[in-house]
Amino acid sequence: MLTIKNLHAEINGKPVLNGIDLELKPGEVHAVMGPNGAGKSSLSKVIAGHPFYEVTKGEVEYEVNFKKRKLLEMEVDERAREGVFMSFQYPLEIPGVSNLEFLRTAFNAICKHQGAPEMDVFDFSDFVAEKRKMLGISEDLLERDINVDFSGGEKKKNEILQMAVLSPKVAFLDETDSGLDVDSLKTIADGISKVRAKDNIIVLITHYHRILAYLSPDYVHIFKDGKITKTGNKDLAFRIEQEGYKDF
């Protein structure tokens, strides 16, 4: 369970979150919508611990394995090892670092932290192969450097592959559906559905209801000026598609 209480944050002295209250329970899928600059991406970055954001007020309580922890006091990597995941809206290209090796290092860091045995190259390749096929990712993409010369769609799929491999407890997916063709959108939505489970939370940050049609969220939150101005069910997303944000 992740409980966000009165969260305020700023970047370069500019307020971006102005009092967010949100309770996320295992098994739930939440959608976060709102106009550009409303603070949707900022929320996911603050939760993941992005170094450019400063939390000025509020707290985030994270309950994992029946233990409650103050998330904001944890380092970025510790949050990730405890099951917090954020997919990047613009996944970074990192030349010189192999995608597969990066994925294995991350996976093993989490295994080690959770007391599970680490995987060698061969076992890990088999393990990833299954996830990779599910997302229609070619083997070649794993051999290449992280996101280097990937298409927009491949980058997004690679983010979801990371999620599938790391199986987080809370995943914030920041505009994972932006810039995808119809087929890729379906593949990614299928991938997310497969990761979705009774014991994890998925937060979809999106501008479009298309992905929500596939994933059917339990809650839809409307963000405006760094606050949640309305919460409803999935019908809210369809209403926004028709009417826009002016009434929220």
Residues that bind another protein in the complex, under the rule CB under 8 A: 48-52, 75-77, 79-81, 85-86, 88, 91-92, 94-97, 102, 105-106, 109-110, 113, 145, 162, 166
Angle (CA) 164 170 171, round 5°: 55
In this complex, which beta carbon is closest to another protein, that of residue 106 or of residue 230? Answer: 106
In this complex, which beta carbon is closest to another protein, that of residue 105 or of residue 178? Answer: 105
In this complex, which beta carbon is closest to another protein, that of residue 53 or of residue 248? Answer: 53
Sequence-separated (6 or more) residues with CB below 8 Å from residue 177: 156, 185, 188, 189, 204, 206, 208, 210, 211
Residue 239 CB, shortest distance to another protein, in Å, is 33
Residue 33 CB, shortest distance to another protein, in Å, is 23
Integer Cα distance of 2 and 115 in angstroms: 23
In this complex, which beta carbon is closest to another protein, that of residue 159 or of residue 177? Answer: 159
Residue 45 CB, shortest distance to another protein, in Å, is 9
Residue 56 CB, shortest distance to another protein, in Å, is 20
In this complex, which beta carbon is closest to another protein, that of residue 86 or of residue 141? Answer: 86
Integer Cα distance of 143 and 73 in angstroms: 36
In this complex, which beta carbon is closest to another protein, that of residue 104 or of residue 234? Answer: 104
Residue 213 CB, shortest distance to another protein, in Å, is 29
Residue 219 CB, shortest distance to another protein, in Å, is 24
Q: Cβ distance 187 to 15 under 8 Å?
A: no
